[in-house]
Structure 1
Amino acid sequence: MLNVFTLDNGRLKGGQLQDEIDCSPQDGLVRPVWVDLESPTAEDKAWIRERFGLELPEDIVDEDLEESARFYEEDNGELHIRSDFLIDDADTPRNVRVAFILYKNVLFSVHNEDLPVFRLLRLRARRIPALIEDAKDVLLKLYDADAEYSADVLEGIYDKLELISARVLKNDVDDAAAGEVLAAIAREEDLNGRIRRNVMDTRRAVSFMMRSRMLNAEQFEESRQILRDIDSLDSHTAFLFDKINFLMDATVGFININQNKIIKIFSVASVALLPPTLIASIYGMNFKMMPELDWELGYPFALGLMLASVAAPFIYFRRKGWLK
Structure 2
Amino acid sequence: MLNIFSLANGRLFQEEIDGPEFVTASKPVWVDLELPTADEKDWVTRRFGLTIPADAVDDDLEESARFYEEDNGELHIRSDFLIDDDRTPRNVRVAFILHDNILFSIHGEDLPVFRLLRLRARRTPAMIEDAKDLLLKLYDADAEYSADALEGIYVSLEKVSAQVLKKEITDTDAAAVLAEIAREEDLNGRIRRNVMDTRRALSFMMRSRMLNAEQFEESRQILRDIDSLDSHTAFLFDKINFLMDATVGFININQNKIIKLFSVASVALLPPTLIASVYGMNFQAMPELQWRYGYPFAISLMVASIAGPFWYFRRKGWL
- Verify the 8 A CA contact 1:45 1:56 in the aligned structure 2: yes
Superposed CA offset, 1:190-215 (max 9, x none):
00000000000000000000000000
C-alpha displacement at 1:288, in angstroms? 3.9
Equivalent residue, structure 2, for 1:25: none
Q: Which residue of 1 aligns with 2:78?
A: 82
- Give the equivalent residue in structure 2 for 1:214: 210
| Counterpart amino acid of residue 277 in structure 1 | T
- Verify: 1:168 aligned to 2:195, yes or no: no
- Once residues 15 and 181 of structure 1 are traced to their aligned partners in structure 2, the CA distance between those partners, rounded to angstroms, is 47
Gaps of 5+ in 1: 22-28
How far, CA to CA, are the matches of 1:111 and 1:16 in structure 2? Answer: 20
Runs (4+) of structure 1 exceeding 4 A deviation are none
- CA deviation string 1:230-280 (max 9, x = no partner): 000000000000000010000001000000100011001000110001111
What whole-Å deviation, never above 9, does each CA across 1:21-68 have from its counterpart, x for those lacking one?
Answer: 2xxxxxxx3111111000001111111111111111121111110011
One-letter code aligned to 2:186: D
For this pair of structures, how many residues does the alignment match? 316
Structure 1 distance, partners of 2:218, 2:289, is: 104
Q: In structure 1, how many angstroms separate the alpha carbons of the residues matched to 2:282 and 2:179?
A: 61
Residues 1:42 and 2:44 are matched in the alignment = no
2:298 to 271, 281, 302: 302
1:5–1:16: 8 Å Cα contact kept in structure 2?
Answer: no
Contact 2:6 2:15 in 1 (8 A): no
Q: Look up the match of 1:244.
A: 240
**d(CA) in 1 for partners of 2:147 and 2:7?**
28
Q: Report the Cα distance in structure 1 between the residues aligned to 2:289 and 2:105, rounded to whole angstroms.
A: 101
Unaligned runs of 5+ in 2: none
Asked whether the equivalents of residues 272 and 314 of structure 1 are also in contact (C-alpha less than 8 Å), the reply is: yes
- In the alignment, is the contact (CA less than 8 A) between 2:82 and 2:92 conserved in 1? yes
Amino acid in the other structure paired with 1:199:
V
1:229 lines up with 2:242 in the alignment:
no
Q: State the alpha-carbon separation in 2 of the partners of residues 307 and 169 from structure 1.
A: 41
1:135-154 to 2 correspondences below 5 Å: 135-154=131-150
Give the TM-score normalised by the residue count of structure 2.
Answer: 0.97
User: How far apart, CA to CA, are the structure 1 residues paired with 2:111 and 2:274?
Assistant: 74
Residues 81 and 205 in structure 1, CA contact (< 8 A), matched pair in contact too:
yes
Instruction: Tell me the secondary structure at the aligned position of residue 86 of structure 1.
Output: strand
> After superposition, where does 1:286-297 map in structure 2 within 5 Å?
286-297=282-293
The residue type equivalent to 2:109 in the other structure is E
- Residue type at the aligned position of 2:295: Y
- Show the counterpart of 1:313: 309
Moved more, 163-172 or 147-156: 163-172
Q: CA deviation at 1:20?
A: 4.7
Pick from 279, 285, 288 the counterpart of residue 283 of structure 1.
279
Structure 2: which amino acid aligns with 1:151? Answer: A
Report Cα offsets for 1:70-90 as digits up to 9, x if no partner: 000111111100000000021
Deviation at 1:15, TM superposition (A): 2.0
TM-score by length of 1: 0.96
CA contact (8 A) 2:288 2:295 kept: yes
Within the alignment, does 1:265 sit opposite 2:264 as a pair? no
Distance across 2 between alignment mates of 1:278 and 1:290? 15
- 1:106 corresponds to 2:114: no
**1:147–1:229 contact (8 Å) kept in structure 2:** yes
2:7 pairs with 1:11: no
- Of 281-290 and 60-69, more deviation after overlay is shown by 281-290
d(CA) in 1 for partners of 2:286, 2:154? 75
Residue 318 (structure 2) pairs with residue 322 (structure 1): yes
Give the corresponding residue for 1:68. Answer: 64
- For 2:105 and 2:64, how far apart are their aligned partners in 1? 19
Partners of 2:133 and 2:101 lie apart in 1 by 11
Counterpart secondary structure, 2:81: strand
- Structure 2 residue aligned with 1:97: 93
The answer to whether the 8 A contact 2:23-2:47 is kept is: no
Amino acid aligned to 1:45: K
User: Aligned-pair distance for 1:91?
Assistant: 1.7
SS in 2 for 1:57: coil
Q: Does residue 1:2 correspond to 2:2, yes or no?
A: yes
* 2:96 aligned counterpart, secondary structure: strand
